[in-house]
Chain A
Amino acid sequence: MPFEIDYHALGPEIILAVTLMAVITVDLMVPRSLKYLTAITAVVGTTAAFVPLITLALHDNPVRSMFDGSYVADEFALVMKALFLTAAYVVILMSFDYIDSERFYQGEYYFLLVASTLGAVVMTSARDLIILFIGLELVSGPLFLLAGWRKGSVKSNEASLKFFLLGVLSAAILLYGMSFLYGLTGSVTFEGIREAAISGDQGPAFTMAILFVIVGFAFKISAVPFHFWAPDTYEGAPTPVTAYLSVSSKAAGFVGLLLVTYLAFPDAANVWGPALWILAALTMTIGNLTALRQTNIVRLLAYSSVAQAGFMLVPFAIAGVTDTPGQLESAFGATVTYIVIYAFMNLGAFSVVIAASRITRSGLIDSWSGLGARAPGLAFLGSIFFMSLAGIPPLAGWFAKFVVFSAAISTLNVWTTSLAAIAAVNAVIAFYYYARVVKAMWFDPAPTTAEREALPIVPRTLQYALAITVAYVVAAGFFPQLSSFFGEASRMIAAGN
């Protein structure tokens, strides 16, 4: 049977694929001094990919299914695609001067970045295991290389190698779990697995397969105890790549987790609900407690992003104790909302780190001392992002915490309520280390050795990145509907449509 291909629905993917080719072609054709054109090509490409996205979203029937339901562009896919494109766009802006200034290979850099984004965009539409896996590998593969982009740095090499080894390990575990699923149900589509699981008997092999799949994704989202690669990789990788890792790569892991749990085996929630309850509690608590001890700003953000992933896992846990569709939908929406808000504030925080490191020339938090006096604008932005990450109103982060608490409380069940209490205590712990950065910037005196020379100017493209992220973080703090809209739109696919 010949497949009908809906080119409109595939628009973003096609444009990204064309952008890939264009970036590498431009790289081959232009002389070294004009290599920045590859970045511009990538920016134009990611921007252009928004166009079909918007036309799809405005279309009367945004749900389009292809390839026997293996590839679907629905509201959830559109929301997450928009997020991945925006994240890529911001990361390219962040990279522009960073990559240019340190004499990297530029063409390949943007080629790999866009390739990884393409993988994430494909994942959002995947409704079967094979496409999901291909998408996930396309996300990770380029990042193994990008993490080692600072070729001269030992730490960067370590980052790349560690990430690669654990990435391959997790892919193997994931694939092993998937092969079991296929073997037991005879189907690779989520729909098929779900139906087979309902009709057939669910032996221990099925439970094991689910756990393997969850562990595979747990590596990707760096959930404790599968997080060990993250801090080293984050520290060693070029900072824009770290930003991308902590936002897009993590969000891609969550997309996978959301899809398989809510769509492929929603009826096995009694298995994955408690498992993710434990993962959430561990991830929040260990991530936060370890973050307290960090002295390096990027490592701090690495552990903070581990802890934030724990918060994103909280809503999953309620599936173990309830099967009310409304509550499951809002739990699904809560995770999506959290990811959207987290993406903006974390990208903003990393943009500030990049800008600040041009001044401090050090990765230590102590070197941020007195930044408020030396560069008040930058310190102000930094405070906004860090306080937003801490979830302090009126910045966007409060709503992320709010929806997560709300989802956990919604069942009024002992287990999930106690998870909410754990999350609440963690929010307080987290404030302490975010406040340490703010304290360094504003309360501590500038080091006496700080040269009184003119401060380096924040590059124009980095300014754009900061402007985009801060605008969202402030606006969405006052009008949380800006974030919950995405959660609302995407929740429809949860709880079995």
Chain B
Amino acid sequence: MDWFDSGWGLSLIVFLPLVGALLVGLAPKANENVVKQIALLTTVVVAVLSVVAAFQFDYASSADFQLGTDLSWIPSIGSNYHIGIDGISLPLLVLSAAVTVLAIVYSWNHWEEPKNPKAFLILILLLETGMNGTFVALDLVLFFIFFELVLLPMYFMIGIWGDKSPRMVKVGRFELETETRLYASIKFFLFTLFGSAFMLLSFLALSFEAGTFDIPALIDLGSGGAFTGTFGQLVFAGMFLGFAVKVPMWPLHTWLPDAHTAAPTVGSVLLAAILLKLGSYGFIRIALPILPEQARAWAPVIAVLAAIGIIYGSLACLAQTDMKRLIAFSSVGHMGFVMLGIASLTDVGINAAIIGMVAHGVITGMLFFLAGSMHHRYHTRDMARLGGNMKLMPKMGAILAFIAMASLGLPGLAGFWGEFWSLIGAYNPLNGLNVSLFRGTMVAGAIGTVLTAGYMLWMLQRVNLGEPSAEWEGHDLPDADRFELVAWAPLLVATVAIGVFPRIITDATNGAVVELVAKAFGS
């Protein structure tokens, strides 16, 4: 498998979806099946390749970048096509490749208006190139390109297939009536673009100071203390903007509830499962190791914002009537735990962040699938009108109950580890950080877990339990069909597997994380 290990494998994982998108584009529109088969085949091959990568990966040296290559790309600015994975990116890469397959399986017979499977599948495939590329990129310019590549497909997904209900938007003194999808799509784009424009400036400043865009080289320089003073602070601030918008961290999160709620089901799933992780991954891959000194300075800020995010997200959930919007706000809380783990700057905390990212991807992805499928049947997401779902659709109700438990962090299921370890990390942060402040954020996080349990159970009560409302009598409400079950089964299995056996993730990540912390923070 020399060809695979020398970078071809990862390159295929990144660019096959692009080729698939081209093929789908060339396929005749009339023949819907061919279009779907090409897309599915492409993503399955990519997922298999990502699994092969996981097997080829040498776990003994998970801190090293493996299976990659380093080729000249834009010599005039010294940027290279440098790719590779370590223990931190591997789980996320596999997650991304797998969730995309499930998204296409689910789409098979769930097309939201205005249908057009061909265009929709092209967008999913383009999205996959961006997502996978971000996780393997080891060059700042390359990273930036992939990071931005996901914007356009998601913009179109929300804008074309999104929620068409009217929405009032206040602009100063004026009230404009527009559609939810139009508002949400442009808001999503502008927020992210604003953040990433400053992130790019930071990348450029780094490269002028260090003379390279190469991430491993920058990590070596950074852990040696190469970037200091105001320069370092400004660079970190720019990166913080770029990544924090994407995560999203409170108070930059306001695009998220809109985008998630407005997006078509598959769009929400990919947004929640993968796109949010690009931000937190950026913190772990780039911001922390390259700028350790500034990370120390910023850690309390990040921890406090994360704690606010956890509490705020949970409280916002308690105020929701719209099921999908509730799940969207729960992401703010869950990503708060991820960021809290990262802010502790310890190996426990960062491991927690990564396992939390994977778990959130699996669980919240699943929740959005359910929200979409239920909306498809009930044509409403208003929880006051739902109820008795367990009786109307037992299979779907059971899955909802199960995954809600996972989401609230029930031990034995995937959601537990990320929250638990990130609280441990916050209890005992890196030496030199303000312990009492971090313990405060830990308490806030702990309260957050209670609130999370509160809103999840309340949602279950409103949606699943009780007697069905009279309005559903005589409606045809089919339970989960086989495409849905096939798409969901892997997520459910993963939820249990990660919950029972978190070593699936930590075996890959731990070596890399310990090395990262040791190198950057010397402990």
Contact = CB atoms under 8 A, between A and B. Distances in A.
Given A393-B144, A481-B76, A432 B200 contact: no
A405 B200 CA distance: 8
A129 to B, nearest CB: 32
B159 interface: yes
B364 to A, nearest CB: 26
B76 A424 contact: no
A424 B193 CA distance: 9
A51 B74 CA distance: 28
Residues of A in contact with B, size category: 20 to 34
A484 B145 contact: no
Nearest to A488: B76
Between A393, A412, A431, A488, the greatest number of chain B beta carbons within 10 A of the residue's beta carbon is seen for: A393
Interface in B55-92: 73-77
A487 B76 CA distance: 9
B152 A392 contact: yes
A398 B148 contact: yes
A241 B193 CA distance: 33
Bin the interface of chain B by size: 20 to 34
B76 A431 contact: no
Interface of A, secondary structure class, is helix
Given A409-B204, A412-B205, A443-B182, A427 B148 contact: no
Interface of B is mostly: helix
B145 A428 contact: no
B181 A394 contact: no
B14 interface: no
A484 B79 CA distance: 12
B148 A393 contact: yes
Of B77, B197, B205, B209, chain A has the most CB atoms within 10 Å of the CB of B197
Nearest to B155: A435
B151 interface: yes
A202 to B, nearest CB: 31
A406 interface: yes
Contacts of B141: 402
A435 B186 contact: yes
A424 B197 contact: yes
B204 A431 contact: no
Nearest to A390: B193
Interface in A216-232: none
B201 A439 contact: no
Nearest to B162: A443
Contacts of A403: 77
Nearest to A411: B208
A341 to B, nearest CB: 13
B204 to A, nearest CB: 4
Nearest to A407: B204
A408 to B, nearest CB: 9
B185 interface: yes
Interface of B: 73-77, 141, 144-145, 148-149, 151-152, 155-156, 159-160, 181-182, 185-186, 189-190, 193-194, 197-198, 200-201, 204-205, 208-209, 231, 234
12 contacts: A393-B149, A394-B145, A405-B201, A412-B231, A424-B200, A424-B201, A428-B190, A439-B159, A443-B185, A479-B74, A485-B76, A487-B76
Given A412-B205, A428-B194, 7 more contacts: A405-B201, A406-B204, A410-B208, A424-B201, A439-B185, A443-B185, A481-B74
Interface of A: 333, 387, 392-394, 398-399, 402-403, 405-406, 409-410, 412, 417, 420-421, 424-425, 427-428, 431-432, 435, 439, 442-443, 479-481, 484-485, 487-488
